[in-house]
Amino acid sequence: MRRVVLCLTLLAAILGVSAATAQTCGGSLICNTASDAYLITNNTGNGFHAEQGGTCNSAGVPLAGVLGASLSNMGVVGYTSIGQAGVVGYNLNSQFCPATSVVDGMLGVHRGGLNYGVYADGNIGATGTKSFVEPHPTDPTKEIRYVSLEGPEAGTYFRGTGRTHNGFATIVVPESFRMVTDTQGLTVVVTPTGALAQIAAISKSLDKIVIQSSKDVTFDYVVNGVRKAFRDFKPIIENDDFVPEGPEDSRFFSLPAESQRRLVATGIYLPDGKVNLDKAREMGWDVKWAQQKAVADVLALAAAQHK
């Protein structure tokens, strides 16, 4: 899904927009209307920086269109009583208005009759586990946390139980599975239960799967496939998520110990958690940092003159 974003007209609790180059609105860096207030930046600073409880050292803080920081509670709160989402973040394909969103994410969403804590028009990434949390059924001091299964492909599956008659059984593939799964890459695992038997899937397709057994038995099955829209998914790509934003950017050392070890092993960081400046020069990151600082200085000067 792609949206056309009309600047200054989106009704949202907080709208954070990041653009490739600095943009002013009506001669002012900060634009206010009845619906929003935001600053479009060039990825060298924060559009709006709110602090609570004293000053904050922003070294290592990711650059953002909107940044809310708090020492005691929540940095940013967005809510809506009748709107679609409490918080919306867009990445746009242009600095000009109107622009089309390349990807967007929403928090506190009511959409299509369903409620979502997090909804993305695009991919969702994480450096940690993706957990499902439930209350413990008998112990009030504990909770149950299951972690999402991981793999190198965008997998699909369905499973169930069947029984052969006269040595054969047919598994009808669910319509929803057919809709999202590619025709190539189907795998079938069949396990007889209750008795020993030779059993196999003798044919498989998105329409049906035919099972044959040496004698009639009940069996369990799992059918796996790959999502059609992502059949060419590549698990190893160019590094873009673990590039320091500056020579003092130590935020990656809040990641698990194994991730820290890899960042040191590849030379991005030194063992003490500091950015490896030799590697930064080798990769050309130092040039990018210098360019960002130069534009940030221009923005700071323009903001000071605007006051």
Predicted confidence (pLDDT) per residue in 84-128, tens digit: 888 888 888 876 666 788 888 999 988 888 889 999 988 888 888
- What percent of the chain has pLDDT above 90? 49
pLDDT at 137: 96
Token duo for residue 257:
């110990």
- List C-alpha distances in Å: 223 to 177, 185, 280: 10, 10, 46
> Per-residue pLDDT for 51 more than 80?
no
Identify which of 9, 241, 13 has the alpha carbon closest to the alpha carbon of residue 109.
13
Nearest to 307 by CA among 28, 8, 21, 25: 28
Report whether 219 contacts 193 (CB < 8 A).
Answer: yes
Rounded to two decimals, what is the model's pTM?
Answer: 0.74
Chain centre to alpha carbon of residue 107: 12
Confidence band of 13 (pLDDT split at 50, 70, 90): low
Q: What's 220-249 look like in SS3?
A: EEEEEEEEHHHCCCCCCCCCCCCCCCCCCC
Q: How confident is the model at residue 53 (pLDDT cuts 50, 70, 90)?
A: very low
Give me 180's structure tokens.
Answer: 């999202």
Q: Which DSSP state fits 80?
A: -
Better-scored residue on pLDDT, 247 or 44: 247
Per-chain mean pLDDT for the chain:
81
Quick one: which of 184, 217, 216, 187 has its CA closest to 201?
187
Q: What is the pLDDT of residue 4?
A: 52
Residues 40, 25: Cα–Cα separation, whole Å: 9
Q: Name the more confident of 245 and 140.
A: 140
Asked if the model's pLDDT at residue 236 lies above 90, the reply is yes
Q: Give the per-residue pLDDT at 11.
A: 47
